[in-house]
Structure 1
Amino acid sequence: MTPRLTSLVTALLVLLGIATSALAADVATTPRVEARLISETTGIPASGGTISIALLERMQPGWHTYWRNPGESGEPTTIAWSLPPGFAAGGITWPHPERIPFGELANYGFPQEVLLRSEITVPPGLQPGTTVTIKADATWLVCKDICIPEKATLDLVLPVVESPAANTQWQQAFAASRLREPAKSAAFDARFAASDAEVTLFFVPTLNRMERGIGAHFFPYEKGLIKASAPQVAEPRGGGFAIDVPPAYKLRDPEKRRTVGEVTGVLVLAAQGSAPAQSYELTLRTGAVPPPAAISIAAADLGLGQAILFAILGGLILNLMPCVFPILSMKALALIRAGHTEHPWTDGVAYLIGVMTTFAGLAFALLWLRGLGADVGWGFQLQSPLSVAILAYVLTLVALNLSGVFQVGGSIQGTGQGLSSRGGVVGAFFTGVLAVVVAAPCTAPFMGAAMGFAFAQDPAVTLAIFLA
């Protein structure tokens, strides 16, 4: 390794270390999200008990993060706790979400602000006057026109006291969030019935306000049950109210539908006058539902032709997005090489075949994994830290090579860059393969609608949209 290369690699590692350590604080700020770890009390009870610690996310205007079921695209926020011995953390207590239109899709999430609360169990016998450090590794996906995954390591240091007081700084935020947490109520006769074309959600509540289903919207905990982008309109029926909504893939397919015996989620009733919105966690079981009083006209779906057009337009716009810059140089070099060959069109065809073959392979892999029940989406191959690390090092070496720091000889060429650097149809083919692998998780306007439509369709339609 040359001294110049050694210096560059050392500088890169130092910068990575600085970026990582800079995240260890009680607040982390990105251009899109301010994430903060907060406590409902001013300290830790020395005698033990439970306290509420929360991740507070504040988004810039237009950006949103996701609920536990993100809807037709997206990923929920996750929190991994690191606690002292004897402490234990419960799961996230999710406030009810909002339905957020996203092109032709719909997300379940939180614009502006969300407080994600967890109960921390404190062991007895702590020493007053000492301190306790609570650490959380948080990850979230924040979206506007594009989606950006972010993460932070947050530390919160609290004193051990005999009797902790309420934290007045965050008291109002905790109170507002608790109002949005679903009540666990058994005062419902809730059932559902599903067919290939429609899912009927039927509720017979006991409260007069709820019997009319004013502003009702049901958010299932599990993905793939109902079409999130379809409007939900409650109508009086059979002593209660019903919501008819198109099914998603798990309830549209007869084989998968037979395995769904119950649906758990949150029923949200919109605010009425001075009364705030109310939400209830409940479980709907399969059963008979009353027929509708009249046949309703379903909302028009995004058609196959429009989805393919959106996929093509999104692919063209994608070439201008920053996340594909690493592969633009490879495309440019491939075009330059093709201009000096006897039959330049053959390289273009080989590049196209490489792109199409890789897209088809990713589509088949995604459909296979979803068929097995895995909750994966577009760019799933880069959810593996090992895959991300390998691509990061490969692209770093490619950048150093293109910058002239070192030259890779023919005998030691790496598999990816070596194959894509060859001349002729083989090099063009593997340039297309590498381009897809690197750019797969990127998105652009129009692509979200097309991909969401594809994931809700049969395999043949999904493959057609992927290849567009």
Structure 2
Amino acid sequence: MQASTVEYADTHSDIELIAEVSSAQPGQTFTLAVTFTPKEHWHTYWKNPGDSGAHPIYEWQPQDGITIGSPDFPAPERLPVGPLMNYGYSGSATHLLPITISPDFSGGSIVLSGGIEWLVCEIECVPQYKDVSLEIPVGDGAVDVSVTETFTQARAAMPDPSYYDTELSLDDSGVTLKVMMAPSETATLVDAYYFPAQEGVLSYAAPQTLTIQEDGTVTLQSSRSNGSPLPDSGAGVLKLFYSDDTQQSFTIEPKFTAPTLNTDNSPVTSSTPALNVPELPLWQALMFALVGGLILNLMPCVFPILSLKAFAFIKTGDHSIAERRAEGWSYTAGIMISFLLIVGLLFVLRAAGASIGWGFQLQEPGFVALMTLIMVLISASLLGLFNIQTGLEGAGQGLTSQSGNKGAFFTGVLATLVATPCTAPLMAPAIGYALTQPFFVVILVFMAMAFGLALPFLLLSHSNTIAQKLPRPGPWMETVKQGMAFPMLLTAAWLIFIFTQQSDSAALFILLAAIVGVIFAVWLWQQGRSKALKVIALTIGIFCTAAIIWQPRSTETETESTDTLSYSVNNLQDVLQSGDAVFVYFTADWCITCKVNEQVALFRDQTIDLFRENNIQLMKGDWTNRNKEIADLLASYGRAGVPLYLYYPAGSKEPVILPEVLTTGIIRDTIEGAGQ
């Protein structure tokens, strides 16, 4: 081993310090290479690690006449882990540090000593730390030719200084990076990726959309999380990918523009924002609302339901005109009462500070899921898979397609629920006007809209001429009835589309599986008169319907409970001596698996509720920084790093050890299996 090189081995990675010179000369600046080599399948991190992880930390001991500069990092790679995106290196990575020797340095050698701390991760993450020292004799400053190839490769891995003009802008709509290139330079460009050096520039896991204009300008657009810290620079690394599978990396310092933020990181707005309120006289707002309600009958979200009621109307061809008129007014009452309830709830929620608008009910995933179930049940009944007569009829076709005032009323309710999120022509100015007026004006405008929605069917029920021209009931109606199932299924497809915008793929699977379960329950109900069979069918139906209604509002993760205790030996012993159950999780800000587990399992509402229902104390062991107590406990369980999850049942001093990868089901099964 030469004097200009020193190697250190740790549990999950090695580091090597290599000086580019065999001897150092006063007044000279030379380069020190520090190479991190993790075990196979493990990785280290860039200076901005992304969603999780930690960059290497150098703590050099000062030496008179010696200046050690900041490290240059090689161009990073993307390291996706579950819903997170990290930046780092899947193999060896070499940092280059400038070492400057004062011209009046008089020692016989220079000693580069200090501590280096770095993180390596695979499924678990393990911090590594070494006290290092490299002594280089003072001499003529000759380059060590035996390490020339090492430095050549290290410099080749560094991003080149950019010669492109670049601009980075942050605004409410996201992040935009513009790179001014020539058309000839973008002829074979197929992709690009921007690695920001600072936190808060963009959401790391969000896609970056590439656009290449005819003049060669390259634009990358991405999103930025609300509440992110505001960076003061857009510096970073830009990677360009070409059709011949080559790539280039550049360091960029774009011209940077960002919005001014309040203390809570929200964009600063004018203290008296201008309201874009339509200036309408009341009569015109009422007319717009009435016509808008009429047009709603033709919207794809409403038309299938009205067609269903019209079909039921034809089936009652032997009804008297008085009975038809009563149905028409029942239908109108269902719409107008539903409108009143929705408007009232809207104002109550707005008064309570909720930022919601018209059609807010379809902003709730649980409501959308329930409406999807109703549409599917109606469609299945129309296709003849079953005939809903009792039990579930209040949720589907049994109420809306039956004749009589009851069926007409609930058809109006259902039409209102799916119609209100739609916006027909002339509705927007009427709603915008109404929501800025006194309450009685609001009621007038929305009642006009409700009456417009009800008017076509109301006119149909009052017209003798139309009633006489309606086709007579007959066998043809069975074919028409089955055909009407398909627009209902299209409505269900539209609702599923809405649902996918509000929830994740796991929630969508639960919704679809639960819908199948409800249909199976209805089918099972009709297989015989056995009470046991009907009880089983009813249980399945209730369980699946509950699964459909319960849906998380979004895929955003929950935060830690405010009553979470910090781990210490004393805190844990106090809880155990009290006889309470405790769930201890050991984590770190740089631990990828920890953060994924926390997002997808530990901090979900259902898990927090499970802890509360079973009086389980949550305790956090934070190993972001070195902590001897946590290190000792990890070692006692044969662990070299986090995560570690321990569950102590009530009255027990011995924990149940959970797997490193968590799900809500694993946590629930562990608690239930331990007798909670």
Judging changes above 3 Å, is the alpha-carbon distance between structure 1 residues 157 and 164 closer, same or farther for their aligned structure 2 residues? same
| Equivalent residue in structure 2 for 1:266, among 237, 260, 268 | 237
Work out whether 1:199 is the aligned partner of 2:175: yes
| Equivalent residue in structure 2 for 1:221, among 176, 184, 197 | 197
Judging changes above 3 Å, is the alpha-carbon distance between structure 1 residues 191 and 443 closer, same or farther for their aligned structure 2 residues? farther
- Of 101-110 and 272-281, more deviation after overlay is shown by 272-281
Distance in 1, Cα, partners of 2:28 & 2:82: 46
Aligned to 2:27: 48
Work out whether 1:71 is the aligned partner of 2:333: no
Judging changes above 3 Å, is the alpha-carbon distance between structure 1 residues 267 and 250 closer, same or farther for their aligned structure 2 residues? farther
- Of 299-308 and 269-278, more deviation after overlay is shown by 299-308
Quote the offset at 1:145 in angstroms.
Answer: 0.8
Percent sequence identity over aligned pairs: 20
Work out whether 1:34 is the aligned partner of 2:14: yes
Distance in 2, Cα, partners of 1:238 & 1:193: 24
Matches within 5 A, 1:178-327: 178-196=155-173, 198-206=174-182, 208-210=184-186, 213-237=189-213, 239=215, 240-250=217-227, 259-260=230-231, 262-270=233-241, 273=244, 277-286=248-257, 303=504
| Equivalent residue in structure 2 for 1:355, among 614, 617, 640 | 617
Quote the offset at 1:186 in angstroms.
Answer: 4.9
Quote the offset at 1:85 in angstroms.
Answer: 1.1
Letter in 1 for 2:142: P
| Equivalent residue in structure 2 for 1:140, among 112, 118, 123 | 118
Letter in 1 for 2:177: L
Letter in 2 for 1:61: E
Judging changes above 3 Å, is the alpha-carbon distance between structure 1 residues 384 and 146 closer, same or farther for their aligned structure 2 residues? closer
Q: Is the 2:171–2:258 contact (alpha carbons within 8 Å) kept by the matching residues of 1?
A: no
Distance in 2, Cα, partners of 1:213 & 1:301: 35
Distance in 2, Cα, partners of 1:212 & 1:54: 34
Judging changes above 3 Å, is the alpha-carbon distance between structure 1 residues 337 and 82 closer, same or farther for their aligned structure 2 residues? closer
Q: Is the 2:165–2:254 contact (alpha carbons within 8 Å) kept by the matching residues of 1?
A: no
Judging changes above 3 Å, is the alpha-carbon distance between structure 1 residues 233 and 174 closer, same or farther for their aligned structure 2 residues? farther
- State the TM-score, normalized to the length of structure 1: 0.57
Q: Is the 1:219–1:265 contact (alpha carbons within 8 Å) kept by the matching residues of 2?
A: yes
Aligned to 1:172: 149
Work out whether 1:93 is the aligned partner of 2:294: no
Distance in 2, Cα, partners of 1:266 & 1:200: 15
Letter in 1 for 2:240: L
Aligned to 2:362: none
Quote the offset at 1:444 in angstroms.
Answer: 2.8
2:254 partner SS: strand
Judging changes above 3 Å, is the alpha-carbon distance between structure 1 residues 28 and 355 closer, same or farther for their aligned structure 2 residues? farther
Matches within 5 A, 1:115-134: 115-126=94-105, 130-134=108-112
Distance in 2, Cα, partners of 1:149 & 1:53: 23
Q: Which structure is higher in strand share? A: 1
Letter in 2 for 1:220: P
Quote the offset at 1:131 in angstroms.
Answer: 2.7
Q: Which structure is higher in helix share? A: 2
Q: Is the 1:55–1:116 contact (alpha carbons within 8 Å) kept by the matching residues of 2?
A: yes
Distance in 1, Cα, partners of 2:203 & 2:37: 28
Judging changes above 3 Å, is the alpha-carbon distance between structure 1 residues 286 and 72 closer, same or farther for their aligned structure 2 residues? same
Aligned to 1:444: 660
Work out whether 1:151 is the aligned partner of 2:129: yes
Matches within 5 A, 1:428-443: none
Aligned to 2:487: none
Q: Is the 2:28–2:141 contact (alpha carbons within 8 Å) kept by the matching residues of 1?
A: no
Q: Is the 1:271–1:278 contact (alpha carbons within 8 Å) kept by the matching residues of 2?
A: no
2:617 partner SS: helix
Distance in 2, Cα, partners of 1:104 & 1:286: 28
1:174 partner SS: helix
Residues 409-439 of structure 1: CA deviation (Å, up to 9, x unaligned): xxxxxxxxxxxx9xx98x88xx89xx9xxx9
Quote the offset at 1:95 in angstroms.
Answer: 1.4
Distance in 2, Cα, partners of 1:121 & 1:192: 37
Quote the offset at 1:161 in angstroms.
Answer: 1.2
Work out whether 1:80 is the aligned partner of 2:78: no
- State the TM-score, normalized to the length of structure 2: 0.41
Quote the offset at 1:238 in angstroms.
Answer: 6.8
Quote the offset at 1:212 in angstroms.
Answer: 6.5
Residues 124-164 of structure 1: CA deviation (Å, up to 9, x unaligned): 24469x33221131111111111111111111121211131
Judging changes above 3 Å, is the alpha-carbon distance between structure 1 residues 446 and 76 closer, same or farther for their aligned structure 2 residues? farther
1:58 partner SS: strand
Letter in 1 for 2:224: P
Residues 44-103 of structure 1: CA deviation (Å, up to 9, x unaligned): 11x322111121111111110110110111111111112431101111111110001112
Pairwise CA RMSD? 4.7
Letter in 2 for 1:80: E
1:208 partner SS: helix
- Say which structure, 1 or 2, has more relative contact order (CA 8 Å, 6+ apart): 1
Distance in 1, Cα, partners of 2:578 & 2:190: 60
Judging changes above 3 Å, is the alpha-carbon distance between structure 1 residues 216 and 446 closer, same or farther for their aligned structure 2 residues? farther
Q: Is the 1:268–1:280 contact (alpha carbons within 8 Å) kept by the matching residues of 2?
A: no
Q: Is the 1:184–1:282 contact (alpha carbons within 8 Å) kept by the matching residues of 2?
A: no
Letter in 2 for 1:303: D
Q: Is the 2:169–2:258 contact (alpha carbons within 8 Å) kept by the matching residues of 1?
A: yes
Rg: which structure is higher?
2
Distance in 2, Cα, partners of 1:192 & 1:282: 12
Quote the offset at 1:273 in angstroms.
Answer: 4.0
Q: Is the 2:189–2:243 contact (alpha carbons within 8 Å) kept by the matching residues of 1?
A: no
Unaligned runs of 5+ in 1: 1-24, 289-298, 313-323, 339-347, 360-378, 400-420, 448-468
Quote the offset at 1:445 in angstroms.
Answer: 2.5
Unaligned runs of 5+ in 2: 260-499, 508-551, 559-566, 582-609, 637-647, 664-676
Distance in 1, Cα, partners of 2:49 & 2:171: 22
| Equivalent residue in structure 1 for 2:39, among 47, 60, 63 | 60
2:138 partner SS: strand
- Of 77-86 and 209-218, more deviation after overlay is shown by 209-218
Letter in 2 for 1:242: T
1:355 partner SS: strand
Q: Is the 1:66–1:75 contact (alpha carbons within 8 Å) kept by the matching residues of 2?
A: yes
Residues 361-408 of structure 1: CA deviation (Å, up to 9, x unaligned): xxxxxxxxxxxxxxxxxx6x54455xx246668x69xx9xxxxxxxxx
